[in-house]
């Protein structure tokens, strides 16, 4: 039985352990102040913020669901994959993937810094790379370029210096989608397609689901309602889990200043997620205290 909810549910949140600007503790405090009772920490290629966030959650009466957002590859494109877990007890398969991806992220940013140097922009890597164990990402480089006066806006940073079509851009190392899904399942978790938007038609979604996806992030802060409606219909027809979240970063990361709770998870969909996690992990006791859902049931 899931405990009675006392707040909103946001299942897509980033911290300073990847490319957010708030520490796990600060994220939890912010969530509490906004009436969010259930939060999933889903840092990019990192699960290291979760113990700190869960400790803060216990103190603030906010339930923190362990999660991660993995950079994966399928066919010719990148697919972001959300993993959710009942506990961190069997997380080793996902942890190993994260270690590989974290190392490649540092190498990537160093390569981009070197490419910028060839373009006449001299940045000290020590001023760009976050302190370990944070997950390096382009927003760290964007902040350094802004601070150094090399651009006047976030948009200019990405259009002029570090966007995909720029000379200094270096692509990410990604794991194959099926490998990431398998690692999440082996760790007792569920695998959810992140922020699909209008990128995928039904046939493309079918191909991704055939790789073992358990669900789709139907609700997202930058996704029009008409898209969410279409995705919800697809997920229900295929018997998939439905999730949602703000994708909060709180910084120059493309979230356009959207706050925690900008998109939330309906109660009944979250209950289905919890039940799936209990079945997959065999750890129903770990989810018994989930302060899961919302008396303000909106998305």
Domains of the chain in start order, with CATH, are 8-98+182-287 (3.20.20.140), 103-162 (1.10.150)
Which residues, other chains included, contact 230 with Cβ-Cβ below 8 Å and sequence gap of 6+? none
Strand ranges (DSSP E) for 99-171? none
What's the pTM value of the predicted model, to 2 decimals?
A: 0.84
Q: Which residues of 216-251 are buried (b: 16+ CB within 10 A; e: fewer)?
A: bbbbbbebeeebbebbbebbeeeebbbbbbbbbbbb
Which residues, other chains included, contact 77 with Cβ-Cβ below 8 Å and sequence gap of 6+? none
Q: Report, as ranges of residue numbers, the positions in the chain whose pLDDT lies below 50.
A: 1-5, 252-254, 291-298
Strand ranges (DSSP E) for the chain? 8-13, 36-41, 63-74, 77-84, 175-176, 190-193, 215-220, 241-245
Cα–Cα dist 228/217, whole Å: 9
* pLDDT recorded at residue 286: 58
Span 200-218, pLDDT tens digits = 999 999 999 999 999 999 9
* pLDDT recorded at residue 207: 96
* pLDDT recorded at residue 121: 94
């Amino acid at each position: 039985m899931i405990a009675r909810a006392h707040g909103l549910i946001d299942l897509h949140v980033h911290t300073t352990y990847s490319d957010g600007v708030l520490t796990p503790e600060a994220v939890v405090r912010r969530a509490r102040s906004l009436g969010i009772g259930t939060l999933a920490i889903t840092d990019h290629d990192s699960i290291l913020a979760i113990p700190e966030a869960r400790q803060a959650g216990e103190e603030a009466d906010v339930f923190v669901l362990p999660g991660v957002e993995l950079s994966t590859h399928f066919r010719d494109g990148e697919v972001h994959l959300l993993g959710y877990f009942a506990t961190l007890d069997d997380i080793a398969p996902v942890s190993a993937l994260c270690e590989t991806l974290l190392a490649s992220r540092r190498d990537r940013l160093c390569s981009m810094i070197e490419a910028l140097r060839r373009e006449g922009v001299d940045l000290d890597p020590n001023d760009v790379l976050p302190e370990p164990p944070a997950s390096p990402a382009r927003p760290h480089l964007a902040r350094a370029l802004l601070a150094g006066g090399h651009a006047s806006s976030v948009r200019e940073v990405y259009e002029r210096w570090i966007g995909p079509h720029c000379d200094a851009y270096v692509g990410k190392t990604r794991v194959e989608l099926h490998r990431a899904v398998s690692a999440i399942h082996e760790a007792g978790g569920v695998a959810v397609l992140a922020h699909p938007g209008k990128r995928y038609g039904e046939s493309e979604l079918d191909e991704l689901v055939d790789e073992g996806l358990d669900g789709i992030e139907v609700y997202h802060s930058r996704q029009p309602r008409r898209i969410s409606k279409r995705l919800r219909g697809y997920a229900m027809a295929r018997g998939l889990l439905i999730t949602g979240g703000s994708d909060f970063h709180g910084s120059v990361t493309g979230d356009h200043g959207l706050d925690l709770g900008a998109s939330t998870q309906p109660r009944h969909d979250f209950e289905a997620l919890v039940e799936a996690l209990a079945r997959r992990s065999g750890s129903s006791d770990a989810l018994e205290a989930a302060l899961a859902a919302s008396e303000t049931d909106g998305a």
